[in-house]
Each structure stands twice: as C-alpha cells, then as structure tokens.
Structure 1
C-alpha cells in the first residue's frame, strides 16, 4: 500500500527564490552530473510522495533522514510533517547546496521553526554515523548516474540504518531508459543496465509499493520499502513463572 500525505499549510516561497533554486540546480547538474542528476528541484507532488510515510503518526518520537537534500524542496515538506519530538537529519555533499541549506535552517520559517531538531550533515552519506538508526529515510540521490556497485552499497547502507518497521522512499525519472538508448554510449548503457538490475532485485526483495508522480517535471516513479517489524518472542512458561 502506498501512503498519501496529509497536506500542511506552509509559507510559500517567492518566485525569485524558486527561480534562483532552479538556476543553481541546473548549474550543478552541468557541473556535477554524477551526483546531481536533475535539472530542477523536486516539485511539490514528488516531494509529497517521498514524504508520505511521515503523514502516518506513530505516537512516539521518530528519527528521519534525507539523503541528497539539494536545495531543500523535499526537506521543507518533511519539516511540515514533523511531530513535536521528531528529528530530521539532512545529508548533502554538494558544498553550494549545503551553504544554501545552512542559511535556510536559520532563515526559512518552515525549517527554522524546528530549531536544533533539524541537523545538516555536509558531506557524503558515507560520513553518517554507522550507529545512527532511522524510522524514515528519504533518498534523493540519482541512482541512474551511479555504478551498480555504488547503488548496491547505498541500498545496503539504507537498510542497515532503518529501524525494524522503518520506511524508505526513493525515486527515479520515467522515460530515461529510452533517452539513454538513443543518446548513450555502449559503456553507459551497460552501466545503466547494471543499475536497473540492482534496483529491480532490491524492489522484488524489499519493495512495498510504488506510484508514478505525473505532476512532476519530468514524471517520476516513487518506490516504498519497509523493513520487517520485530515481534518479541513470548517467554517460556517456566521462565515467566520464575521471573
């Protein structure tokens, strides 16, 4: 089952700031295509789909991780859905994006309202504390631009960081396979085929559903992954009597 988020009233960003974010994204895509991989920040519909797990209240504090926060398009939607005791870690390796995010954590009302419950980790996800565990992980990394072994390692890292019953969301753009077939080299096509195999295997093993966000530019498919809930084993009767 794919969740639908509850919309939360939010402060609208100015057209000038949205345009500046798009220009920065385009510039970084041209400069660092391997790690940026998109020409524009995620649209609101895509951000809603990625943040959907947070719309379901659990009655306890939750820890949330966003990897590849970019200019904060998804981060703001996640912040809108945080409960009063939830925390959010933003991971971003691009120094231009991290400078923008650091300023927004101070000045943007949707982010600054949560104070030190939102943290910025300026570096690759590999620098994340291996002991950290999360209830929700949102990945904005462009898997299609990575090598198959890199994608496999990232997915394994996400699973290891999820608590039992945790929820992972990630996305990929629709129509890229056809475009790559027309424009790609044999080497890039082989790499992309390897990435597709890794993702297909992962989704068959761990996937809990997906949906297409047609309202995004370009349209994107969002996948949901859940880790099993661990149910405590009942104590043997003799142990229960003597305890």
Structure 2
C-alpha cells in the first residue's frame, strides 16, 4: 500500500459507508422502511431534475426525509447561485451527518449559508416560506393513511403555485406487500395507495422509471396548480379578492 488514496477512492468509501449505515438503521426500525439502499446517482438525478430545469434562476428548494444525504449532496451541487435549500429530517440518527455535509459546503462571500437542516417532521416545519421544488425521500408506504394525507397536503401547501414535488416509489413493491402482508397491513397499504393515486390523478405531470437503481424506482413529478379549484371559486365569488 502506498499510504494515500485518491479523491475518487474517498468518495467511494464514503458512499459505501452510507449504504451500510442505511441498512443498519433500517434493520433497527421494526416498521417496513420501504427501501433497501440509499438513493443511487441515477435516482438522485431523476429526483432533482426540476432544479436543473428551472436553473439558472434562484430557487427555494425543500428536501424532506434526507436520511444519509445521497440526494442532499446532489441538490447542493446543483443549486443555482442565490438559491436556498431547507433539509428536513425527523429521524434523530441522521441530522448530525447532514449538518457535517452542510458545514463542508462553502457559504457565498458576504452572504448566509444557503443550506439549513431542520430536525422535525415536515408537518411540523415552522415556516411561512414557499418552495419552487420539493424533493421527498420519505417512504410513504410505511405510514398510516392519515399521516400520508397530512404529509401530501403539507407538500402542496408549501409549494409555490406552479411548484414541483418529486418523490419515488419502488417498482413492484406494492404487489410484493400485498402478497406478503397481513390482512390489516394489506388494507393499510391499499388505503395509502389510493391516496397517492388520487394525488397523481390530480397533479401528476410525469413519471420516470429509473432502472439503474436497487430496487428500480418510479419517480413521480406533481405540480401545484397556479390556483386550486376552491381558491378559484372563492376568487370568482369575490371572497379571495
């Protein structure tokens, strides 16, 4: 051994360690995590596509469920100048790593650091800000239908009119859960699936399948309307004017 490594070697070692960390933390959680590996490069790129599409104008971006920071790292590298990124992670096992990543990212000269980590649930995020892009890393299939509805409603509330939400679902996971789950768990999964399908029917603008991921994933893109139907009715009635 020559006693030194290249930057490429260090990156590979860090990502290998992140993968093991994710598996260990998932094994500790008795709830189904809905994922077997952190987001790979191809999945991270698909999830962050709206950032690239809207560049180079400054953007307000929110990432929810950052976990081991695979997507966070991709977002930071793609943020247009003058943008800001809020990273939300409720699990207390991950924010320290996220803060370390943010600290390593240089702040603009004379300006505030553009990335902030929040240890909280997105439903409890205390902010009046609105976002151009929201990237969700949550495994929504493991939550109760009530919680999923709250999370999705919060995402739509936090998006600016015309803003985009991206999230992923694993190919074939729904069928696998139905085949292996108990009757009550199958009912829960079906209810969650119906909630997500309703949002997709109302707001989806596209779906991409990322085969180069383990497991393969579908990346959904949902867009908040410039005016929600109830808001349009209020405006026409004179209430919203």
Please list the CA deviations of residues 144-165 of structure 1 after superposition, one character each: whole Å capped at 9, or x if unmatched.
1111111111110000000011
Residue 187 of structure 1 is aligned with which of 173, 177, 184? 184
Where 1:204 maps in the other structure, the secondary structure is helix
Partner residue in 1 for 2:100? 103
Distance 1:34 1:153 in 2: 19
Distance apart, 1:26 and its partner CA? 0.6
User: How far off its partner does 1:70 sit?
Assistant: 0.8
Of 46, 54, 58, the residue aligned with 2:51 is 54
Unaligned runs of 5+ in 2: 1-6, 228-241
Q: Which region of structure 1 is more displaced relative to structure 2, 52-61 or 14-23?
A: 52-61
Q: C-alpha distance in 1, partners of 2:175/2:201?
A: 23
Residues 25 and 38 of structure 1 are in contact (CA less than 8 Å); yes or no, is this contact kept in structure 2? no
1: CA distance between counterparts of 2:30 and 2:159?
28
> How many residue pairs align between the two structures?
217
Structure 1 residues 59 and 24: CA distance shift in structure 2, 3 A: closer
Cα 1:229–1:27 shift into 2, 3 Å: same
Pairing 1:23-42 to 2, within 5 Å after superposition: 23-32=20-29, 34=31, 36-42=33-39
Q: Is the 8 A contact 2:36 2:214 kept in 1?
A: no
Normalised by the size of structure 1, how large is the TM-score?
0.83
> Whole-Å Cα distance in 1 between the matches of residues 203 and 196 of structure 2?
10
Find the aligned partners of 1:129 and 1:141 in 2 and give their Cα distance: 19
Equivalent position SS for 2:93: helix
CA apart distance, 1:113: 5.6
